Amino acid sequence: MGVVVAALAAGCAVAAVFLSGGAIRPDRPDLEVALVAAALVLAALLTFGKSQGARISALVLAAGATGWAVYGLSTDLGSGAPGVSTAVLVVAAVVALVATGLPRPVRWWLAVPLVVMLAAGTVTAVTVVPGLAVRSMTAAAIAAPALADRVTSAPWTWTSPAKVLDVVAAGAGVTVAGAGGVVTALDGPTGAVRWTYARPGAHVRALVPTPDRLLLLAVYAPGGGADRHHHLTVLDAFTGEPVQETPIENVRSADLLAPASAVLPTLTHLGDNNFRVDALDLRGGNRLWSWNAPEGCVSPFALPASGRDVVLAPMLCQDRLSVLGLDERTGTPRWEHRLPVTRPSDEKADFFLRSAPGGGTVSLTLRYSGLATGANTDVVLDAATGTILSTMDPRAPKRITVGPVAVSERDESGKITAATLDGGVAVDLAACPDRRAHATTPTAYLRLCASPGGGMVVHRQELDGSASSTLPIAWPPPTETTGSLLTGRARHALIPAPGALVAARGGDAPVVGFPSR
């Protein structure tokens, strides 16, 4: 019976080779897991031998395989993004070690418990072990406060236990990504911690909300692992409960994540500057649909972009240059912004696609030498219908979408010389000579400004021309030089969030929130 148990354990080890290794072991089969499984198979074969040397060799092989499997499992758990392959391997190795170490012949009443241990341990490894890498606290679902516009002058502050990497508006307030794999949700009106989700040992690479702010996409890079694959966790923004988890290709920045409310679009290169758009169902985890450019056309590369419930797809054909709004549920084109092409060119077509916070509007900037006319190359569209809301002169200042009101800026040698808000309101540049972050609300243009004395204030310029106002922020002086926040190139963020206007700085400064009136 001992040889039968050893054989079953070896079979279980072979099965582990083909199980998911998580982001830390993206390859199947993984070389280390395969070598340990091979050692257990050899140990099982040696148990059939009659000699004392064969039995000792089997025991030595099983012991070595067990030690290496335990080491691999501990490393995987420490990475913060483990799979199940090493956990199943440990169960198989332990059972094989016991089976090879028992005196011959092995009685059935000793073999049966080992078989039960193998089966129960395998089920436990598959269902329980991945969760051992997670530390979390959930919250009850509540109604979301309205996005902050007019706020009080009495802020709340929250100091993160880890260095702040990013802050985004989601759920009932804001969510903070911290060093050490920690994600913390704060209540907008009070600043109280609502829930936490952490993968100790892993690193947060991106934290992106869906346009409706109901879900959060947290991308983790495994600590100590190859940087080719990451782990995507989709969280309920109100409760912190994981909705689904899946391995994902390397996410170098948050720009590569542009979810609609229900799907995450990804690009697959088909060759000859043609890309396929695939849509991952954020709640189900399956690929919901794929879209290819029709025959005779290609879909060139552009950073992924989405509206509230559409996915944007660029397309170049012999007779037109287009951007399609694909329905997030079906992938069928809902609208097309089409520019005529009169002389196809070998030059590259450039697509710059951006969506406003909330996904209600999208801005397109299209460049191609073969266009019949320069009209409608720079436009803002309604994301749901594709209707042109406004056009821009390509020679005019750059347009920045930081909220419901867009900002057009003209700069010379990197210095802003003029700025205008939608509706023709001129920006008072002198009121904020050192801008660190900015945003718009339906009634105001907000800027986070550094004062000459080293302090920070939030400057509010009213869109109706009434008197402006400022709110001071009591941040300590920076103690270190840190990089930009994950969702941008700046170190600071100013976020109109549900229930509060929130200001954040990368590093160890507190997050500050001014509650809505």
- Pairwise pLDDT comparison (89 vs 2), residue with the higher score: 89
What pLDDT is recorded for position 345?
A: 74
Spatial CB neighbours of 99, under 8 Å, sequence gap ≥ 6: 2, 3, 5, 6, 9, 47, 62, 106, 111, 114
The answer, yes or no, to whether residue 264 has pLDDT greater than 90, is: yes
Average pLDDT, stretch 4-27? 88
Q: Where are any strands of DSSP class E within 62-199?
A: 135-137, 156-158, 164-170, 173-178, 182-187, 193-198
Query: 294-338, pLDDT tens digit by residue?
Result: 999 999 999 888 999 999 999 999 999 999 999 999 999 999 999
- When mean pLDDT is compared across 101-115, 202-216, 314-328, 490-504, the lowest value belongs to 101-115
What does the alpha-carbon distance between residue 46 and residue 107 come to, in Å, rounded to a whole number?
Answer: 19
Using DSSP's 3-state secondary structure scheme, residue 50 falls into: coil
**Amino acid at the residue 132:** L
The answer, yes or no, to whether residue 224 has pLDDT greater than 60, is: yes
Sign of CA dihedral 244, 247, 252, 255: negative
Query: 382-394, pLDDT tens digit by residue?
Result: 999 999 988 776 7
SS3 content of the chain, % helix, strand, coil (to 5): 20, 40, 40
Task: Tell me 75's DSSP state.
Answer: H
Residue 351 domain-assigned (yes or no): no
Average pLDDT, stretch 231-252? 91
Q: How far is CA 113 from the centre of its chain?
A: 44
Residue 1 domain-assigned (yes or no): yes
How many H helices and E strands in the chain?
5, 31
Residue 79 domain-assigned (yes or no): yes
The answer, yes or no, to whether residue 396 has pLDDT greater than 90, is: no
Task: Tell me 406's DSSP state.
Answer: -
Residue 446 domain-assigned (yes or no): no
What pLDDT is recorded for position 446?
A: 97
Please answer whether residues 141 and 239 qualify as being in contact, where contact means their C-beta atoms are separated by less than 8 angstroms.
yes
Using DSSP's 3-state secondary structure scheme, residue 133 falls into: helix
Please answer whether residues 327 and 310 qualify as being in contact, where contact means their C-beta atoms are separated by less than 8 angstroms.
yes
In this prediction, what percent of the chain has a pLDDT beyond 90?
Answer: 60
Query: 443-457, pLDDT tens digit by residue?
Result: 999 999 998 777 899
What pLDDT is recorded for position 303?
A: 87
- When mean pLDDT is compared across 108-117, 279-288, 499-508, the lowest value belongs to 108-117
Please give the residue range of the domain that contains residue 105: 1-133
Residue 74 domain-assigned (yes or no): yes
DSSP H or E run through 58: helix 52-79
What pLDDT is recorded for position 155?
A: 96
- Half-sphere exposure (CA, 13 Å, Cβ side) for 80? 27
What pLDDT is recorded for position 483?
A: 66
Average pLDDT, stretch 261-282? 93
Average pLDDT, stretch 34-59? 85
Residue 285 domain-assigned (yes or no): no
Residue 84 domain-assigned (yes or no): yes
The DSSP bridge partners found for residue 449 are 435, 457
What pLDDT is recorded for position 107?
A: 60
Q: Tokens 């196809």, residue?
A: 344
Sign of CA dihedral 273, 276, 280, 281: positive
State if pTM tops 0.75: yes
How high is the mean pLDDT of the chain?
89
Query: 93-132, pLDDT tens digit by residue?
Result: 999 888 887 766 656 556 688 888 899 999 999 999 889 9
What pLDDT is recorded for position 480?
A: 62
Query: 412-449, pLDDT tens digit by residue?
Result: 877 888 888 888 889 999 999 999 999 999 999 999 99
In this prediction, what percent of the chain has a pLDDT beyond 70?
Answer: 95
| Structural domain count of the chain | 1
Residue 4 domain-assigned (yes or no): yes
The DSSP bridge partners found for residue 415 are 412
Query: 154-169, pLDDT tens digit by residue?
Result: 999 999 999 999 999 9
The answer, yes or no, to whether residue 225 has pLDDT greater than 70, is: no
In 3D space, the residue among 451, 457, 413, 417 whose CA is nearest the CA of residue 434 turns out to be: 451
Please answer whether residues 362 and 381 qualify as being in contact, where contact means their C-beta atoms are separated by less than 8 angstroms.
yes
461 to each of 292, 440, 457, 466, 467, how far by Cα in Å?
Answer: 45, 10, 13, 8, 7
What pLDDT is recorded for position 53?
A: 82
